[in-house]
């Protein structure tokens, strides 16, 4: 009997320790249409459940992630089932034929959010990457994020790159933008072969265009100094698809909450192409919304964290600075 009690206590302690080390990722959909997030764990890392799910417009879903997890997240778009019941997506498709990605990566091009939790020095490392191309805007916000620097700051790509994608990189009828590596396969674009180090693989005209539009995202393989962000481990994260200037959504226990869908910019202001839909089966409205700017105070504005005084002050500064005005025109 004593041995049984000890076993029960040890089991409870293990459960408490495991739950105490977990963090919550809240996925928020501010797009005008449904997205289907996918999750891929790196080799040697615990698999997250679910590996794929449906996220309607205006909804949020919280998913627990264990300490020490590493992997990538992305949003699939234009998903539907065909007459045979096979699930497929226009962008970011996992190729499993089902809602779950089940250990399969998403097809390029797709915007990625990448994480290593509780890594070196017990820090989290995260980034938003355009190295594999782009399909929609993503913003990553750690709880208690700072307003500047690369420590606990918001990371992401705010611009609608589909609207400014060069013709030679356009994919899926304008619903996604390929990377130069994906489109051309040349070592100088892929940082491979003789270009497989930061001294020989330098930014290209394509990666520089991505970087100017999305300064807080990876634009090519060795774009580390301004693209990888760190936080002390143990905090929660919000991953927002197509954020807009409305308060952040919260959910608990994995439940989905559906508030009033925010008003999206009209086609004559920002605009975005309608995501093509696979034929047959079911599918919702796949048009994707667009975002605000990508530097940290605009990211706070996008999620309702910027004060009116700060916004007025920063906007006045921007309008008085020619270079910043040029960057604002790029975003708009």
Q: Which 8-state DSSP code applies to residue 146?
A: B
Tell me which residue range forms the domain holding 224: 20-247
pTM above 0.95, yes or no: no
The CATH number for 101's domain is 2.60.110.10
| Domain contains 113 | yes
Averages of pLDDT over runs of 10 residues in the chain (332 residues) are 45 40 93 97 93 97 96 97 94 97 96 95 94 96 74 88 94 96 94 94 93 92 87 94 52 34 27 31 35 33 35 36 39 44
| Domain assignment of residue 321, yes or no | no
- Residue 330 domain flag: no
Burial 246-276 (b: 16+ CB within 10 A, else e): bebbebeeeebeeeebbebbeeeebebbebe
**Which tokens in the block code for residue 31?**
């797009």
Q: Let me know if residue 301 belongs to a domain.
A: no
Compute the distance between CA of residue 123 and CA of residue 218 in angstroms, rounded to an integer. 19
Q: 322 in a domain, yes or no? A: no
In this predicted model, what pLDDT tens digit does every residue of 141-154 receive, in sequence order? Answer: 999 866 556 678 99
Q: How many domains are there within the chain?
A: 1
Residue 191 counted as domain residue: yes
Strands (E), 200-319: 229-232, 237-241, 256-257
How far is it, in rounded angstroms, from Cα 108 to Cα 158? 19
Does residue 259 sit within a domain? Answer: no
How far apart are alpha carbons 47 and 107 in whole angstroms? 19
> pLDDT tens, 283-327?
333 333 333 333 333 333 333 333 333 333 333 333 333 434 333
Q: Is the peptide bond before 109 cis (omega within 30 degrees of 0)?
A: yes
d(CA 71, CA 116): 7
Q: Judge whether 42 lies within some domain.
A: yes
What is the structure's pLDDT at 167? 95
**Which pLDDT value is given to residue 100?**
97
CA–CA distance, 220 with 201 (Å, rounded to integer): 9
With contact defined as beta carbons under 8 Å apart, do 248 and 303 qualify? yes
pLDDT at 75: 98
**pLDDT value of position 268:** 25
User: What does the pLDDT read at residue 90?
Assistant: 97
Q: How far apart are CA 230 and CA 223, in angstroms?
A: 15
Give the C-alpha distances (Å, rounded to integers) separating 293 from 123, 215, 285, 307: 27, 10, 25, 16
């Amino acid at each position: 009997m004593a041995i049984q009690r000890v076993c029960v206590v040890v089991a409870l302690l293990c459960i408490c320790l495991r739950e105490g080390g977990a963090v919550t990722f809240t996925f928020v959909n501010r797009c005008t249409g449904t997205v289907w997030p996918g999750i891929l764990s790196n080799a040697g890392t615990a698999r997250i459940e679910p590996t794929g799910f449906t996220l309607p417009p205006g909804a949020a879903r919280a998913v627990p992630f264990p300490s020490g997890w590493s992997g990538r997240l992305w949003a699939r778009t234009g998903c539907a089932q065909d007459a045979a019941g096979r699930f497929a997506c226009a962008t970011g498709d996992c190729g499993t034929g089902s809602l779950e990605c089940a250990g399969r990566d998403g097809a390029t091009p797709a915007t990625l959010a990448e994480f290593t939790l509780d890594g070196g020095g017990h820090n989290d490392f995260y980034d938003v990457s355009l190295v594999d191309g782009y399909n929609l805007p993503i913003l990553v916000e750690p709880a208690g994020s700072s307003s500047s620097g690369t420590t606990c700051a918001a990371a992401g790509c705010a611009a609608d790159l589909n609207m400014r994608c060069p013709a030679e990189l356009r994919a899926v009828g304008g619903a996604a933008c390929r990377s130069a590596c994906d489109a051309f396969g040349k070592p100088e674009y892929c940082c491979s072969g003789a270009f497989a180090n930061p001294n020989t693989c330098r930014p290209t005209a394509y990666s520089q265009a991505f970087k100017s539009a999305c300064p807080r995202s990876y634009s090519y393989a060795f774009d580390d100094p301004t693209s990888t962000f760190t936080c002390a481990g143990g905090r929660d994260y919000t991953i927002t698809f197509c954020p807009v200037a409305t308060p952040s959504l919260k959910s608990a226990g994995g439940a989905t909450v559906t508030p009033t869908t925010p008003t999206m910019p009209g086609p004559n202001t920002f605009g975005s192409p309608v995501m093509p839909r696979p034929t047959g089966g079911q599918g919702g409205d796949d048009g994707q919304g667009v975002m605000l700017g990508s530097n940290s105070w605009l990211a706070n504005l996008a999620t309702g964290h910027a004060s009116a005084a700060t916004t007025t002050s920063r906007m006045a500064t921007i309008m008085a600075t020619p270079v910043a005005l040029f960057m604002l025109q790029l975003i708009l």
